[in-house]
Each structure stands twice: as C-alpha cells, then as structure tokens.
Amino acid sequence: MLRRVSTTPALATADDGPRQPGTWASLRAAALNPRLRSVALLQFSSSLPLGLVWIAIPAWMARIGVDIRVIGLFGLAQLPWTTKFLWSPLVDRFSLPFLGRKRSWILLSQLLLIALGFGLAQAAHAPVAVALVGALSLATAFASATQDIAIDAYAVDVLERSEHGTAVAARAVFGRTAMLLSGGVAITVAATMSWHWVHVALALCYIPMLLVTWLAPEPRERLSAPSSLRDAIWEPFVGFLAQHRALEILAFVVLFKLTDNLTQSLLRPFFVQIGFDDWDVGVGTMAVGTVAMVLGTMAGGLLSQRWGLGRALWIFGILQMLSNLGYAVVAELGTNRVALYGAQALEMGCSGLGTGAFSVLLLRLTQKRFSATQYALLSSLMALTRALTGPLAGVLAAALGWRDFFILTVPTGLPALLLLRRFVPWGVRDPQFSAERPTSG
C-alpha cells in the first residue's frame, strides 16, 4: 500500500520578491541564454508538423477532389497528440545511446520526420496515393507527438524557475511561425509549385533543427531515470497526487480554458450567420486572431515572471472571461467590421494572456524526474474541454441565440477561479508546488 509523506504547502508569501527584468531585457536574455535559446528554437521543430497535418494536408486532399468523407477520416491523424501520455513513460524510463535522455528522443523524432516528409513528397506524384498519404500523416503525427513529449520534458528539465515566463513568450513566437509556415504558406506555395516540392522543403526545415538539438545544453541537475517501466508509469501519478491540493489543481487544469473553448468552438459559424463575407470569416479574422494570440501569449509569459504567477493567473483568468462579451456586442450590432475585428483582437489577446500564464503553471507543476509523463498528462487534460465543448456549445447557441450564448460563457470561467482560490489565494505572488517522493509501506 502506498502512503503519502509530508508535503510542502503550495502557497508562498504575498511579498513582491526581487524585481524582475522588463520585457525587452527578458527577450535579450533569452537570445543570449543557451538554455532559453535552445528551448525556443526547438518549439519551431515541435510545431512544424501541426500545421502540416491539421491544416495543409486536408486542404491538399480537398484541392485534388478527394471525397469529403475520406478527408474527414484524416482527422484521425490528430489522435497521437491527444493520447501521447500513453507512451510518454517510455521517454522517462529509457534513454538512447547518444546525447542526453531527452535530446536523444528529440533527435530520433526529427530524423523520422525528415524521412516521413520525403515519403509524403513521393506520394504527391499524380495520381496521388490517398491511402498512403493517410498512413504517412498518421505516422508523422505519432513522430511529432513523441517529439513534443521529449521537447516539453527537456524544457522542464533544463529551465530555471526564473526563466519560465521568458521561455513561454519565446516558444509562442517560434511555434506560431512554424504553424504559419507549414499550414498557410505551404498551401499558398503549393498553388504555384507542387505539393512534391512543398513536402521536400518542409522536410529540409528539420535539418537545422538537428544541429539545434545536438548543441542544446544538458540540464544542470542530472536525475536518475525510473528504475523500471512500472515505476515510470505509476510513480508520476502518485508523485503528483502527493502535492498539496493535487485534485483541486488537476480540476483547475481541466477548467481554466473552459470559457475560451466554449467561445472559440463556434466562432466561424457565428461570423457566417451574422453575415460577414468570406474574407472576414477567413483571412481577416485569422490574421488578427493569430497576431493577438501571439502577442498575448508573449505578454502573459513575461508578465507572469514580472508580476508573479499567482497574480497573473488571477488577472488573466478574469480578463479571458470578460473578453467574450465583445462577441455579444457583435451579435447585437450585426455586420459591423470594426466591432468584429475589435472583438477578435480583444478575445484572442486575452486568451493568449491566460495561455501564457497557464503554460508557466504547467512548467512549475511538472516534477523533473517524471517530466515527460507528467507534462504530457497535464497538457492532455488541458485539451480535454476543447474536445468536449463543441456539441455543448452548439446546443446552447441554438437554444439561446448568439448574444445570450456569449454572455453565458462569461460565468463558465468562475469554477476555475474558485478552484484557484483554494491553492493560490488572491495576493500570493508566486505559489510553490513541491512534495516529497512517496514511499511504499
């Protein structure tokens, strides 16, 4: 039977602590710091397959006339990203015979992604082998999810606590840039060239990433791997539950983005039904939303470091709730383009602020000894409401109408704030999360 040993309370004092550097000073420090620089650049490699599998390949299949029901099956290629916690203990337990424990897995995944990219290039010759493209897409997602496990775990292992906010800001920039390149830019370039050469170019993008992985520094603290696969699977869960108010923290992880996920699940149908044209529904709002999200995530990460994580979670949690009211204004005014873009910038920017602080929280919650398994589990829990809110949002919008639906999304953020009060009361600047390793008896 397992018993929990004494834990350190998850609360810090409310004092301000040492003054943190400003935004530009933080970004300069990231460029000069080999740990921060490596984590930021590796995020480009992490996000590159996302745009390809989620955005570009379905658009490619539609362009060549593949049946929409078959294209729908390509959505199954996203499964590895939502189930990656199932094989994440392998990354904690085993190490390959080159580089460090996490960097070796990153390098192996990148080599696989290069090979799969060239495979997609070969499959792009007319007539396109649709079944082969589907299989290669699924394999790409699996290799990418494995790379994500290792890169996130490496970030947890190598970063100092004071570097978390800056790292989140830098990762947001490189991650969104990679998705824009492999998603939107790839589709545009393929219209003038061919998908064969697009896949070749994307595969070649991983080659400089191999050098980044090779030169990335190892963590200062070398922790031993779990002694068995059983320990790698079991101890991360028991170790996390040994933290003060662990169940409330897990519930907060699930619910913090509920208000955002309800709102964002139906934005495009909302824009169409209100009467906006294809430009506004597509390129216009996507461009505004992407810029606002990137800037918001950067600011959220950096301000979490400067103000303290506790204060940032409270302030940004409240802002991301209230920002949904902008869409209620759009529903009331109708096809008002100024209101549309203003509401999109406000909501996506505030969502980015919350994401920045929330990403810092996930880094703080993850224990270095089980960084692969715990971070994969937490990120999967974070995505849970995104998968479940779509049907609920559709029912509520149909029953209430658009204006009242968006007003209703505001109080759905309150449960998360009530849970936050349990482990980070208002006024706590920097919460501390720690627990001794559980022992068996």
Tokens 């040994």 correspond to: 242
Question: What pLDDT digit, counting tens, does each position of 139-159 carry?
Answer: 999 999 999 999 999 998 898
The rounded mean pLDDT for the chain is 83
170: closest CA among 33, 20, 370? Answer: 33
Residues 166 and 26: beta-carbon distance below 8 Å: yes
Does CATH number 1.20.1250.20 belong to domain 18-222? Answer: yes
When pLDDT is cut at 50, 70 and 90, the band that residue 2 belongs to is: very low
CATH superfamily of 232-436: MFS general substrate transporter like domains (1.20.1250.20)
Strands 7-8, 439-440: pairing is unpaired
Q: Of 12-26, 82-96, 144-158, 374-388, give the lowest mean pLDDT range.
A: 12-26
Residues 357 and 301: beta-carbon distance below 8 Å: yes
Q: What tokens does 134 get?
A: 């589907």
Element (H, E) at 7: strand 7-8
Question: What pLDDT digit, counting tens, does each position of 252-311 carry?
Answer: 988 999 999 888 877 878 888 888 877 777 667 778 888 898 899 989 988 988 889 899
Residue 171 has pLDDT above 80, yes or no: yes
Residue 46 has pLDDT above 90, yes or no: yes
List phi, psi (to 5°) of 371: -60, -40
Q: 62 CB contacts (<8 Å, ≥6 apart)?
A: 68, 71
DSSP 8-state symbol, 127: S
Domains 18-222 and 232-436 alike in fold: yes
Residues 17 and 310: beta-carbon distance below 8 Å: no
* pTM confidence score: 0.76
Residue 102 has pLDDT above 60, yes or no: yes
When pLDDT is cut at 50, 70 and 90, the band that residue 438 belongs to is: very low
Distance CA 146, CA 284 (A): 34
Residues 378 and 241: beta-carbon distance below 8 Å: no
Domain boundaries, the chain: 18-222, 232-436
Q: Which stretch, 72-81, 312-321, 395-404, has highest mean pLDDT?
A: 312-321
String of b and e for 222-243 (b: at least 16 CB within 10 Å)?
A: eeeebeeeebbbbbbebbbebb
Q: What is the pLDDT of residue 49?
A: 94
Q: What tokens does 96 get?
A: 């390959």
